[in-house]
A and B are shown apart, each in its own frame.
Chain A
Amino acid sequence: MFNLTNSQIFGSPEPSGDNPDLWGIEIEFEGARPPEQPLPDDFDDLDPDTQEDILRDRARNRRRYIDIPRTKGWNIVEDGSLRDGLEAVTAGPQKYEDLPQLLDNLNATFAKINFTPVFSYRTSLHVHMNVHDMTLRELINLFILYSLFERALVHFGGEERRGNMHCLLVTEATRPFDLLREMCVAKTQAEAMRLLRQLCHSNFRYSAFNWASYSRYGTIEFRSHRGTSDTRAVMLWVNLLRRLKEKVKEFDDPRTIMVEFSRRGPDGFAELIFGRHSFAYFTPTLCRYHAAMWEAARLCQDVAFCRKDWVGEKEEVKSKVRPWDGVSPIEEGEAVETIGDVVMVGPRLEMQDLRAQVRRNLAHQWIDEWQG
């Protein structure tokens, strides 16, 4: 089951064409109704029928949305969860390379009618990533990669989104982890399918990493970015998510991700995934979220290590990532760390192993002491 794609699992039709690099974008915005007309100065002196007509006209006017001209590649739909809000939704899956032009078109349409969308705390940007080309195992890899970086990603996309009931973080509303783990250790395929369906149920769609669109559209919806139509901001977000998808293929299974993460630590791992220069907007904030990443790693380990055999062919955990990939000059330097009375000096890359070794030894000492 873990080597099957969405179409093989759910029988959903794959998007046409050979290019799987397809995206869907939903941009929520407010202020899309004309402002309330003031009442005439002599309103109180008017006869009741005229007053009623004026009030009815005002109400009708307030119910009407502004007329946004048709824009190629976009549909504009109503969104009841917003205040005078609409949602611009890409017309079906769009090629990655077409996205900047589409976003420019939308902004040009807004400019043409002199409309400035309001992006209040209620609005958000939802990005659908096509995952028809990924196996379920790769999708779990993606979930784990995303979870490790979630707090930093949410900070990047808009810290005000954190804790919002419409996009609860997977590391804070953790039920998806538990369902995923149960699915991975299910005794039968039927049971695994039942749990996968539960994970993808539309009832759980208010997750920052939304599985509900997986069974329906073959996409994963990322919901944690604040509302914006700015081409540069949207593309930065899409690029970060796209990078995660690209990197997923480099790991055999979730265990190899966790092994690499433990070996490199948050900074080294971030550099491996996002590169040294390309994501300068993202990585500087990462140091604030080291603790959150380690905490997320615990949740991820629960899923990653629940199976011995993810691939179905071999037992051995092997990473395709070469040990020297993404090594920064800082990591190549010397580092000093202490755990209890033990002082460790060595190359930073070896520090993880050393730390683990010292902890293991201490644990053994303690066990010996306990056993008298």
Chain B
Amino acid sequence: MLQYDSLEQARMRLESTIITYKGQAVYVNSVVQGRGKGRPIQLRVQPLPLSSPTGAPLAVETVTVSMDDPDANFRLFRVGYQNLVFGDIRRAVFLVRAPVRQQRQGLCERQLYVEGEDATAQRELDLNGNGNYSYRYMLLKSFDDMLAGRYPDLQQAFRMLDEEGWDRVAVSHNFAVGKDRDINALRFVLYRGRKVGVALERPLAFLIDKDNEYLAEALQETGIKFKVNDV
């Protein structure tokens, strides 16, 4: 646990960032000096989601948390695929954290990059051109789901592709399944933002290129059926 010993420092590092409290993603609204013995530094936080899939702000109660509370985590965040629902967007996007030179300890948009999206998708996501993420998407429930590692299972994911208009659906931090926009029957499996296997027939067993054979164990663990293309 990092213990900031001045209010200014805690503010600079944590205000307007996302951290987790008791495993739940929370937005740090403000950092204040508490009352009582030692005047402890306190965080005023709001649990995600703070905005609805339409982008409308949600009324969320503010909770006060002591900065020294062991349940407050502002160091370790597991990022990966986020199943993004925002406006017309229904799409899994792959996020990575970058060791960017900046002053925030909690998660903020400057540290997060979207990997594996082409220019069209970047435009659709309305990103700022350099792959940096947007705060709009960090205040959604799906961002909390990502940090907590909550994903649909494969059956649900295929149903979301088939029936709910999704392009790509994440099934774990590192894997997603997707469909081709032109050839409707074509399905993909994606690993960390890039396509690593394709499938046409049902039940789906993805054909993995021999170069990606090293992913076999990870695919098995995720429950994704596959065979290696030896040709």
A367 touches B216 (CB 8 A): no
Checking A121, A167, A174, A366 against B97 with a beta-carbon cut-off of 8 angstroms, the contacting residue is: A174
Binds A, one of B27-35, B54-62, B135-143, B217-225: B217-225
Contacts A298-B218, A370-B205 given; does A178 touch B104 at CB 8 Å: no
Residues of A within 8 A of B129 (CB): none
Tell me the minimal C-beta distance from B159 to chain A in angstroms.
Answer: 18
B: residues with CB less than 8 A from A are 2-3, 5, 13, 74-77, 96-105, 111, 113, 115, 174, 192-193, 203, 205, 211-212, 214-218, 220, 225-227
In the complex, whether A205 has a CB less than 8 A from a CB of chain B is yes
Known pairs A162-B75, A164-B2, A305-B211; list 5 more (Cβ under 8 Å): A172-B97, A175-B98, A178-B96, A205-B99, A371-B205
25 A-B residue pairs with Cβ-Cβ distance under 8 Å, sorted by A, are A121-B2, A121-B3, A163-B2, A164-B2, A165-B13, A165-B102, A168-B99, A172-B77, A172-B97, A173-B97, A176-B98, A178-B115, A204-B98, A205-B101, A206-B100, A206-B101, A207-B99, A208-B99, A210-B99, A258-B214, A302-B192, A367-B225, A370-B205, A371-B203, A371-B205
Query: Given A305-B211, A366-B225, A370-B225, does the pair A203, B218 have CB atoms closer than 8 Å?
Result: no
Q: Which residues of A contact B220 (CB under 8 A)?
A: 359, 363
Contact B192 A178 (CB under 8 A): yes
Find out whether the CB atom of B101 lies under 8 angstroms from the CB atom of A174.
no
Using A165-B13, A305-B214 as known contacts, say yes or no to A370 and B203 having CB atoms under 8 A apart.
yes
Contact A203 B97 (CB under 8 A): no
Write out the residue numbers on chain B whose beta carbons fall within 8 Å of the beta carbon of A173.
96-99, 111
B211, chain A: closest CB distance, angstroms: 7
Who on chain A is nearest to B5 by CB?
A: A83
State A258–B226 Cα separation when bound (angstroms): 22
| Chain A residues with CB below 8 A from B111, complex form | 173
Digit string of A163-185 for contact with B (CB within 8 Å is 1, else 0)? 11101101011111010000000
* Cβ < 8 Å to B, chain A residues 263-284: none
Q: Name the interface residues of A191-210: CB closer than 8 Å to any CB of B.
A: 202-208, 210
**Contact residue range for chain A?**
35 or more
Q: How far is the CB of B152 from chain A (nearest CB, A)?
A: 20
Q: Roughly how many angstroms separate A364 CA and B3 CA in the complex, as a whole number? A: 52
Give the chain B neighbours of A367 by CB distance below 8 A: 205, 225-227
- Chain B residues, Cβ within 8 Å of A372: 203
Residues of A within 8 A of B115 (CB): 178
Cα A175 to Cα B103 with chains together (Å): 18
A204 touches B225 (CB 8 A): no
- B104 and A165: CB pair below 8 A? yes
Q: Which residues of B contact A174 (CB under 8 A)?
A: 96-97
Contacts of B193 in A (CB 8 A): 178
Quick one: given A163-B75, A165-B13, A363-B220, are A204 and B99 in contact (CB under 8 Å)? yes
A301 at interface (Cβ–Cβ under 8 A)?
Answer: yes
Chain B CB within 10 Å, residue with most, of A178, A205, A370 = A178
Q: A178-B115, A370-B225 are in contact. Are A359 and B216 (CB under 8 A)?
A: yes
Chain B contacts for A208, CB-based, 8 A: 99
Question: Which of the listed residues B97, B102, B103 has the most CB atoms from chain A within 10 Å of its own CB?
Answer: B97
Which B residues touch A165, using CB under 8 A? 13, 102-105
The chain B residue sitting closest to A302, CB to CB, is B192
Q: Which residue of A lies closest to B213 (CB)?
A: A305
Q: Which chain A positions have C-beta within 8 A of B214?
A: 258, 301, 305
Q: Taking CB as reference atom, which chain A residue is nearest B217?
A: A359
Distance in angstroms between the alpha carbons of A305 and B76 in the assembled complex: 28
Considering the complex, give the chain B residue whose CB is closest to the CB of A207.
B99
How far does the alpha carbon of A363 sit from the alpha carbon of B203 in the complex, in Å? 16
8 closest residue pairs by CB, A with B = A163-B75, A207-B99, A175-B98, A173-B97, A168-B99, A206-B99, A301-B214, A173-B99
Q: Which residues of A contact B212 (CB under 8 A)?
A: 305
Of chain B, the residue at the smallest CB distance from A366 is B225
Q: Which among B5, B75, B98, B225 is the interface contact of A164 at CB below 8 angstroms?
A: B75
Among B100, B104, B113, B227, the most chain A Cβ lie within 10 Å of the Cβ of B100
Residues of B within 8 A of A162 (CB): 75-76
Instruction: Give Cα distance in the complex from A174 to B111, angstroms.
Output: 11
Q: Are A175 and B225 in contact (CB under 8 A)?
A: no
Q: Is the CB of B101 within 8 A of A175?
A: no
Contact between chains at A175 and B76 (CB < 8 Å): no
Provide the residues of chain A in CB contact with B3, threshold 8 Å. 121
Given known contacts A121-B2, A178-B96, A172 and B76 CB-to-CB distance under 8 angstroms: yes
The distance in angstroms between the C-alpha atoms of A121 and B75, with both chains bound, is 14
In contact, A176 and B211 (Cβ under 8 angstroms): no
Q: How far is the CA of A84 from the CA of B212 in the complex (A)?
A: 52
Separation of A182 and B98 alpha carbons in the complex (Å) = 15
Q: Is the CB of B99 within 8 A of A163?
A: no
Residues of A within 8 Å of B99, CB to CB, are 167-168, 170, 173, 175-176, 204-208, 210
The smallest C-beta distance from B178 to any residue of chain A, in angstroms, reads: 18
Indicate the member of A160, A165, A210 with the most B CB atoms within 10 Å: A165
Q: Which residues of B contact A176 (CB under 8 A)?
A: 98-99
Find residues 203-230 in chain A having any chain B CB closer than 8 Å to their own CB: 203-208, 210
| CB-defined contacts of A301 to chain B, threshold 8 Å | 214-215
The closest CB in chain B to the CB of A170 belongs to: B99
